[in-house]
Structure 1
Amino acid sequence: MEFVLEEGKRLHEECSTLILPALSIGNVGQLAVDLLVSSTGAERVGYLDDPNVLPCVGNDAYGPVPQGELALPLEAYDSSSNALTLLQQRSPVVKGKMVELAKNLADFAAASGKKHIVLLSGLDFGKWQKVDMSSGLQIYYLSSTNSDGTDDYCKHLGWKRLQDFNPDQKCWKYLTDLAEGTAVREDDLSLEDELEDEDYYPSLPFASLFSFFKARGLKVTCLLCYCSEGDNLPDAYHLAEATCELLSLSPSNFLGSGGGKWLVPFSWKTLYGPPPDLSIF
């Protein structure tokens, strides 16, 4: 992985917190990062070139007037006023290369002086059988603070630790061994094996990222919400608001907030295409 700085830009040392999405159902993590980048007025300082992410290119996602700036697969944004670096991922990971990408991103974070990593991701609502949704949208978390994934501050915020997390479970243990460089025996689990229900969470991208960031000695907090494919904008707002709660940020102080309101990214105007032709009704 190579980090390329924009001309005339630099990484701000005070930006010790890194926020990034872990790709999953509904792209909720990516949408939440879009919302945070747009609302904080973060500036793009560079991009990451990694062979484990599929190439893509598109128009500027945030500017209403074309400036000739292209959106790339892995972009880094700094919001120095909020001490944040936000990493946006716009294309999928090459099949079977999630572990390699997680290792590279963890190396980048450690080398650039990051102290706290916040991972944002959606979870399949099809697993809701074990989830109490009576109170509406909920945030679940997983933290590196304690070995069992708990964190007193997250608990204070009213969030629940990701259910069924067990660091000794075979898939979680396998990821930990890979991240820590422990030799894996030939008869140990491979992530390419057929997975059971208990293997769902550790099979997701956030689990690989969590394991590798943690192995680098970084504090890691995963913020997760259950969703389905479709219009996931409410979930993105919910996840972005939870991020602000975690980091004690106030959206009313964001550069682009406009009096406490989130600044909707320009690219969202065409997120789900044009409205239907009303003449068909």
Structure 2
Amino acid sequence: MSKIGYFYTDCLVPMAGNNPYATTEDNSGELSTNAEVYSLPSKKLVALQLRSVFIKRKSRPFCEQLLAWVRSSGCAGVVVLASSHSHQRSDPQLRSTPFRYLLTPSMQKNVQNKIKSLNWQEMEKSPCMPEMDDSGLCVRIPGGGITKALYDESCAKEIPMAVLLKFVSEGDNIPDAVGLVEHVNEWLEMIEPRGADPTVPTSPWRVPSSWRLLFGSGLPPALF
């Protein structure tokens, strides 16, 4: 995907760095910011990549800004990729797939049949206040950041949105990222799925060059 711009907002902590998707020495020095926009015209796909945390009390204004941009841009639909704390799963969730989805009412009209054919599992409702026995049921996404707020706002504003998430734990989340994008690909069919071509033994996904730095460099030989 080609970078086509950035999403300007005062809701995220400012950030600047080198190109996280560098492929050569020539483009490694390109500047990256806290919220950038990429596009793939052949698939009519636009992606917003967030790389910074929210300033205190600024997450809800960001949701409003983002959804206003989505509406003014005429997007056919929005797919939010997110995660949720695996240690807060219920017993039924522990015994099933780690993937879940949510659809706003306006998105259900278009994709409900396709989603059902994939046998995906919808995010279960749980007590709104787990510490209270008589608490009502609602959708909760512990550790999901702004995901729930985005979903609720999209429901209220009739914006077609799908939330796809995976229960994850702290640590090396590279396998979780690859698993989530393969899950999305079952629906959107962005690329040929893994194993579809027997002559291609490796994963079809290209790993960002910046992932080499997730855990820093190796141990210094001087230690030994």
2:122 to 161, 166, 169: 161
Q: Give deviations 1:22-81, integer Å, cap 9, x for gaps.
A: xxxxxxxxxxxxxxxxxxxx1000001101111001110111324332110110000011
Unaligned regions of 5+ residues in structure 2, if any? Answer: 130-135
Corresponding position: 1:86 with 2:47: yes
1:51 to 4, 7, 10: 10
Q: Which residue number corresponds to residue 129 of structure 1?
A: 90
Alignment size in residue pairs:
208
1:142 to 96, 102, 110: 102
In structure 2, the CA distance between the partners of 1:252 and 1:239, relative to structure 1 (3 Å rule), is: closer
RMSD: 3.3
Corresponding position: 1:263 with 2:223: no
SS at structure 2 position matched to 1:141: strand
Counterparts in 2 of 1:96-135, with a 5 A limit? Answer: 96-134=57-95
Does the CA contact (< 8 Å) of 1:145 and 1:151 recur in 2? no
Unaligned regions of 5+ residues in structure 1, if any? Answer: 1-41, 171-195
Bigger relative contact order (CA 8 A; separation at least 6): 1
TM superposition shift of 1:198:
6.3
Q: Which amino acid is 2:59 matched to?
A: M
Provide the C-alpha distance between the structure 2 equivalents of 1:241 and 1:77, rounded to a whole number of angstroms.
Answer: 19
Provide the C-alpha distance between the structure 1 equivalents of 2:82 and 2:35, rounded to a whole number of angstroms.
Answer: 16
Provide the C-alpha distance between the structure 1 equivalents of 2:44 and 2:161, rounded to a whole number of angstroms.
Answer: 16
Provide the C-alpha distance between the structure 1 equivalents of 2:126 and 2:138, rounded to a whole number of angstroms.
Answer: 9
Q: Which residue number corresponds to residue 212 of structure 1?
A: 153
- TM-score, structure 1 length as denominator? 0.65
- TM-score, structure 2 length as denominator? 0.80
TM superposition shift of 1:275:
2.9
Does the CA contact (< 8 Å) of 2:106 and 2:160 recur in 1? no
Provide the C-alpha distance between the structure 2 equivalents of 1:131 and 1:206, rounded to a whole number of angstroms.
Answer: 22
